[in-house]
Amino acid sequence: THTPRVFSGIKPSGGLTLGNYLGAIKRFVDMQGQDYETIYCVVDLHAITVWQDPAELKHATREVAAGFIASGIDPSKSILFNQASVPQHAELGWIFNCVARVGWMNRMTQFKDKAGKNAEKVSLGLYAYPSLMAADILLYHATHVPVGEDQKQHVELTRDIASKFNKDFKAEDFFPMCEPIIEGPATRVMNLRDGSKKMSKSGESDMERINMTDDADTIAKKFKKAKTDPEPLPESLDGLSERPEARNLVNIYAALADMTNEAVIAEFGGEGWGKFKPALADLAVEKLAPISTEMKRLMDDPAEIDRLLLKGSDRAKEIAEPILQKTYDIVGL
Ligand code: ADP
Ligand code: NA
């Protein structure tokens, strides 16, 4: 039996948020080590499914890479690269466009949310993006996919694509079944001003999200203005069930502190927001400040980031190319 392979990615479609950190990057770091072979990707081909200014895209690609490294992804322990540098992703993605069914894509809730009433005007790439995501994962025969809750449906689609490919081409078990790994208290960090939406890079207003590079004053101000109900924190976890904004802030605290929600409630139950919000802001600054300082330092040398990504893409290709060639062979190409 071989070491299980982990694949996950982040889009360079804007600045990284606390949602990306707690729901994804921090967990990517936790999986790095001897139990898994870890492959992490800046998924720039996914970013262009909506308009990206070319210069900003280049910048964001380096910034996501810097965010990975500053958070603890070690390019000598993990394979770290950007998707466009490994053309095998797009090649396998095309094959999967011919395996996936239009009816499957029509059921993707993220597409419905993103396209909204504008579904006729969005790019074809936005519609097909879950099929490219399946290629990202299966190109490495990865079985473990750490993601936030919003990506669960896309990982399930990946399994459907793998199954149909294996069955159609009588290539039993060629593409393995992968599992979404969705764990910990912060698998869905919510928007600070509108608790019905998830915190996202591409949200409307900057006050809605904590950016990984926000300074201490900005973090304190954003948490202070975060929408909550007026009640103090409950004495037990049950008391959070009908209080989404309160639960979100407790989730964030727990994830940042590596505590359970129970332990946070044991510490802060009965306290008001005037006490909890400043404690949360202090904790976020304590955890994020060293990362954003390191990100800035790395961003001072963009050529070095490009060099690291290129090295990572060479290692990625070594795994990807034989799997793609075998896929072509199976398909008769
Ligand atoms: P975004 O939605 O911010 O543009 P991506 O689509 O690039 O982020 O997602 C990268 C990873 O970060 C995915 O695993 C996704 O599930 C996770 N993620 C994004 N936003 C959140 C959030 N608010 N809470 C938890 N995880 C999140
Ligand atoms: Na997302």
Look at residue 276 in the predicted model and tell me its pLDDT. 98
Question: For 35-50, what is each residue's pLDDT tens digit?
Answer: 999 999 999 999 999 9
Look at residue 199 in the predicted model and tell me its pLDDT. 96
Q: Give yes or no for a contact between 239 and 262, defined as CB atoms under 8 angstroms apart.
A: no
> Mean pLDDT throughout 59-76?
98
Beta-carbon count within 10 A of 133 CB = 26
Counting ligand 1 atoms within 8 A of each CB, the residue from 31, 48, 113, 150 with the most, and so the one to mutate, is 150
Q: How confident is the model at residue 1 (pLDDT cuts 50, 70, 90)?
A: low
In angstroms, the CA 319 to CA 95 distance is 18
The interface pTM score, or ipTM, of the predicted complex is 0.96
Q: Which CATH class is domain 5-181+301-331?
A: alpha beta
In angstroms, the CA 320 to CA 88 distance is 7
Q: Which of 26, 201, 222, 277 is catalytic?
A: 201
Residue range(s) occupied by CATH 3.40.50.620 in the chain: 5-181+301-331
Q: Give yes or no for a contact between 10 and 276, defined as CB atoms under 8 angstroms apart.
A: no
Q: Give yes or no for a contact between 16 and 201, defined as CB atoms under 8 angstroms apart.
A: yes
Q: Which of 169, 195, 49, 51 is nearest to 108 (CA)?
A: 49
Look at residue 191 in the predicted model and tell me its pLDDT. 95
Residue range(s) occupied by CATH 1.10.240.10 in the chain: 206-296
Counting ligand 1 atoms within 8 A of each CB, the residue from 8, 10, 40 with the most, and so the one to mutate, is 10
Model's pTM, two decimal places? 0.96
Q: How confident is the model at residue 127 (pLDDT cuts 50, 70, 90)?
A: very high
Q: How confident is the model at residue 287 (pLDDT cuts 50, 70, 90)?
A: very high
pLDDT surpasses 70 at 326: yes
- The yes/no answer on whether domain 206-296 falls in CATH 1.10.240.10 is yes
Kind plus residue range of the DSSP H or E element containing 179: strand 179-181
Question: For 68-113, what is each residue's pLDDT tens digit?
Answer: 999 999 999 999 999 999 999 999 999 999 999 999 999 999 999 8
Question: For 136-162, what is each residue's pLDDT tens digit?
Answer: 999 999 999 999 999 999 999 999 999
Beta-carbon count within 10 A of 147 CB = 20
Q: Which amino acid is at 15?
A: G
Look at residue 225 in the predicted model and tell me its pLDDT. 96
Q: Give yes or no for a contact between 193 and 203, defined as CB atoms under 8 angstroms apart.
A: no
